[in-house]
Structure 1
Amino acid sequence: MALTMRQAFIHNFLGNAPGWYKAAILCFLLINPVLFYIDPFIAGWALVIEFIFTLAMALKCYPLQPGGLLAIEAVAIGMTSPKMVLHEIQANLEVILLLVFMVAGIYFMKQLLLFVFTKLITKIHSKTLLSLAFCASAAFLSAFLDALTVIAVVISVAVGFYSIYHKVASGKDFSQNHDHGNDESIQTSKEDLEDFRAFLRNLMMHAGVGTALGGVCTMVGEPQNLIIAAQANWGFGEFFLRMAPVSMPVLAAGLLTCVLVERFKVFTYGAQLPDSVRQILVQFAEYEDAKRTNKENMQLIVQAIVGVWLVLGLAMHLAAVGLIGLSVIILCTAFNGITDEHSLGKAFEEALPFTALLAVFFAVVGVIIDQGLFTPVITWVLTFEGKTQAVMFYLANGLLSMVSDNVFVGTVYINEVKAALLDGRITLEQFEKLAVAINTGTNLPSVATPNGQAAFLFLLTSALAPLIRLSYGRMVILALPYTIVLTLVGLLAIQTGFLDFATQAMYDSGILKMATEIPGAISSGH
């Protein structure tokens, strides 16, 4: 039956998304101009909540389209400006380059990654030990590399495992082509498939939280850490020592949480790798080892050498992360015989949709800035003094980072605190304490939601998420024990005075030198 024009419009609008979802987005688009006319502040917060809704429903519809419509409308009605959106994109250009080039670079290293992690999963039979290995290795790598790079590696590995099992479970051999997004061809137990999905969800979340545990420790762990370090004039070693009274207890508590949630199987953790899946992965490893030619062995060697360059280049900050990613693409393809445009294009399929979504997110950040949505909270927190002020900064940064970009939140707060220091409203000692509170606040409680951490958001919107049924709600539930533990341990380290005690002990022992002059003027930023 032919569709009327009205039916065709409704059918085409947001494609296969449910009708109620389409209606909700249309309602948002209709109500926002009215709210903006009544009260721009309320309209701004409404837009933030609506955008979070599109992220929460990522499995119903990729957030780029509905979120993009909301962002376009926000610019059109004057909630922010194209100039502000461009400014935010320019300020985060390194993150965009990272997504475009580094994720594509990881694609060309997937043979090596699959080889290494297949050995790891097939050799370690304890789920608790395997989970701890994923969490701890992600934490270590994220202290020196970028969290998005680390999570991109783990996503690539998980997709590889899933596609191998799905192919064999569909009655095909390892060499055949297969669409692992279609379950209709599955011939084995559907229960094993669901258990495998739960197993992968657990590992992905352990790795994701690991990036936050390691990212808070060093000045290169997260983008906002660099900004905070620059404002406080801290080098790599001093930044690590300043954060250690909070970051080290949090790291220990996070790793312990990983063990406990797996041991007691709470918050949907504890899913085991089905024996049938393990057997297929073992068979795949044996099959790959048996048929591997000298040409493929050389490809693995090249990828391993490029992997060493990747780690050294990022750890020593020889260039912007995205540029190092571009070098990975060039080296892996040039020395492994990949020269046609079609093969190169496949590598960018995963990253570019998320890159576009991130640009939309920067438009929402532009609304937050132009409408002063965080100003009341900032003003309120600055009314406190002493230890209470540090505690409130930690909590305020944590809460705002759950709904916004933690880089933006960290930048806004460190600039406000630096201004207070230069104006003489706080002492240098208090400034240093608040800098620690801001850094830990933006990094730790923000694991509560996918929009709080860029690595989590990338995972949620990746090709892996629908395969393993990892929704926004499931991510929040899986992150909840970590959110509670990391937030409380960080809070206790500041509130009980342990931060002050440990810092003073480092002064007394000569490990740290007490600052005697105010760091330089506020650097340009938001």
Structure 2
Amino acid sequence: MQQSYMSAFFKNFLGNSPEWYKYAIIAFLVINPILFFYVSPYIAGWALVLEFIFTLAMALKCYPLQPGGLLAIEAVFIGMTTPKHVLSEIIINIEVLLLLIFMVAGIYFMKNLLLFLFTKIITRVKSKTAVSLLFCFAAAFLSAFLDALTVIAVIISVAVGFYSVYHKVASGKDFHHDHDHTSDNELAELSRNDLDDFRAYLRNLLMHAGVGTALGGVCTIVGEPQNVIIGQQANWEFVEFAIRMSPVTFPVFIAGMLTCVLLEKLKWFGYGAHLPDNVRNILQDFDEQESKKRTRRDNLKLIMQGVVGVWLIVALALHLAAVGLIGLTVIIFATVFTGVTDEHQIGHAFEEALPFTALLAVFFAIVAVIIDQKLFSPVITWVLTFEGNMQLVMFYLANGFLSMVSDNVFVGTVYITEVKKALLAGQITRDQFDMLAVAINTGTNLPSVATPNGQAAFLFLLTSALAPLIRLSYGRMVVMAFPYTIVLTIVGLLTISSGFLTSQTAAYYESGLIHHHTVDEAKEDPAGH
């Protein structure tokens, strides 16, 4: 029997999302105009923010771009903000959009080098603790200079590659045979225990690496998208950003690495799984075969990718250009010297980042509503009634809690925008603003490892094709992230509440490593207005 047009429309609306989710979005779209016109624009604005946070928290049900975009479009239509203001917010934050578009695409052309490095770590290092520490450290180091999403994407590629190789051999086939590694039907009975152990081993490495991307991502202006926004609003360059964050990020980094070692030694929260000898032998044989196949041309490509990596680090450290433009140079250099000339090959590099870039533009529409409806003004005014370190602690905790359930880019953008308004209104001093920017950045980056909702890298891992293969569910990810969440959040909180951040920043001023900024610098926004 043919379905009605209304039924077909409802089926098409937000596709395969659950019915209750579709009804929720429809209810939001109906309620918002009623609240705005007949109750209070302020209440309607808060309803919109909470609804948008709901779409972020439910990202596994439906990518937030579509439902969040509908809410943002409706907000503009009913007058919560204007298209002109939305465009203004996007222009002000153009550097973060360029970062996502060009830097992520640039690193795509360095994937072979990263795959080579992580493969060697797994096959050459025998100690599980050492491998875990190397994965965590390498992910942190790379995320400080590259994009966390790309780093985790590379590690997922390594894991999928090794999983499929072992699964193929355990099913009685050779390396070159075709095989469906998603089905265990052909697996020999003796190999099933090894496969379960291998899955646990890969879960460990991926979670260590995921946390590593957060540990490195918080340190530099390019580590996470919100870092760029915060750095822009504060007029900090790459080196100054890293120095200002270091009183919090350095102790947190050390604590994170120690946590990695302890979890492997104590075997708590699902960690401590070892790579079975049978699996190691198969992976080493495969790696040797791949190494023999590698030609001089292939080796030269790896060398050139390494050179481009050095250029990237130097260009960022010396702030030779805007971060996104440096990413564009990486695309050009990496393709020129590795033989990539086809338009379609280059096009693939942009697929990973553009959905999130579009979502970020929707973020800025919601930020425009928050500004126009003065939603956060009472909250910011209340928090600013606290003094000294307690003020920093309140911002750190508020950002941390919201980032656990929402998206840390959205939270960081909202708070730094509101604090910038307080600075320009004369409510806080420039030095106070700089300290609050550190609290906001660390607050959005550290506690957010608690759930996949807060960290884009975690969400990317959870929604990847690898997650079901290694039995990595939402619940299991939250449990495995729990010890890291506790340690990173508490160490970050202690460095801020104890006064260490304040005293260390004062020492940096005295030594000349950083300098006091003026309010006039902040008045010249990144768009040149």
How far apart, CA to CA, are the structure 2 residues paired with 1:84 and 1:192?
Answer: 57
Is 1:408 the counterpart of 2:413? The answer is yes
Aligned to 2:348: 346
How far apart, CA to CA, are the structure 2 residues paired with 1:154 and 1:393?
Answer: 33
- The alpha-carbon deviation at position 381 of structure 1 amounts to 0.5
Aligned to 1:83: 84
CA contact (8 A) 2:96 2:229 kept: no
Deviates more, 1:30-39 or 1:185-194: 185-194
Mapping 1:63-462, distance limit 5 Å: 63-162=64-163, 164-165=165-166, 173-175=174-176, 182-183=182-183, 187=187, 196-218=198-220, 221-222=223-224, 240-275=242-277, 277-402=279-404, 403=406, 405-416=410-421, 418-419=423-424, 423=426, 430=432, 433-456=435-458, 459=461
How far apart, CA to CA, are the structure 2 residues paired with 1:101 and 1:234?
Answer: 21
Aligned to 2:488: 486
Aligned to 1:22: 22
Q: 1:391 to 1:64 in 2, by over 3 A?
A: closer
Please state whether the residue corresponding to 2:351 is helix, strand or coil: coil
CA contact (8 A) 1:213 1:254 kept: yes
- The alpha-carbon deviation at position 419 of structure 1 amounts to 3.6
Q: 1:272 to 1:59 in 2, by over 3 A?
A: farther
Aligned to 2:11: 11
Query: TM-score, normalization: structure 2?
Result: 0.81
CA contact (8 A) 2:129 2:264 kept: yes
In the alignment, structure 2 segments of 5+ residues that lack a partner are: none
- The alpha-carbon deviation at position 252 of structure 1 amounts to 1.7
How far apart, CA to CA, are the structure 2 residues paired with 1:58 and 1:118?
Answer: 31
CA contact (8 A) 1:166 1:186 kept: no
CA contact (8 A) 2:233 2:416 kept: no
How far apart, CA to CA, are the structure 2 residues paired with 1:238 and 1:314?
Answer: 12
Deviation string 1:101-153 (CA, Å, 9 cap, x unpaired) is 33333333333322221111112233332222222223333444454554454
- The alpha-carbon deviation at position 352 of structure 1 amounts to 2.8
Deviates more, 1:400-409 or 1:488-497: 400-409
Please state whether the residue corresponding to 2:320 is helix, strand or coil: coil
- The alpha-carbon deviation at position 57 of structure 1 amounts to 3.9
CA contact (8 A) 1:406 1:443 kept: no
Please state whether the residue corresponding to 1:318 is helix, strand or coil: coil
Deviation string 1:279-304 (CA, Å, 9 cap, x unpaired) is 44323212211222334333333333
Identity rate of aligned residues, in percent? 69
Please state whether the residue corresponding to 2:390 is helix, strand or coil: helix
How far apart, CA to CA, are the structure 2 residues paired with 1:299 and 1:260?
Answer: 38
Please state whether the residue corresponding to 1:383 is helix, strand or coil: coil
How far apart, CA to CA, are the structure 1 residues paired with 2:107 and 2:237?
Answer: 30
> What is the number of equivalent residue pairs in this alignment?
521
Q: 1:443 to 1:353 in 2, by over 3 A?
A: closer
Please state whether the residue corresponding to 1:16 is helix, strand or coil: coil
Query: TM-score, normalization: structure 1?
Result: 0.82
CA contact (8 A) 1:97 1:321 kept: yes
Q: 1:469 to 1:6 in 2, by over 3 A?
A: farther
Q: 1:138 to 1:176 in 2, by over 3 A?
A: same
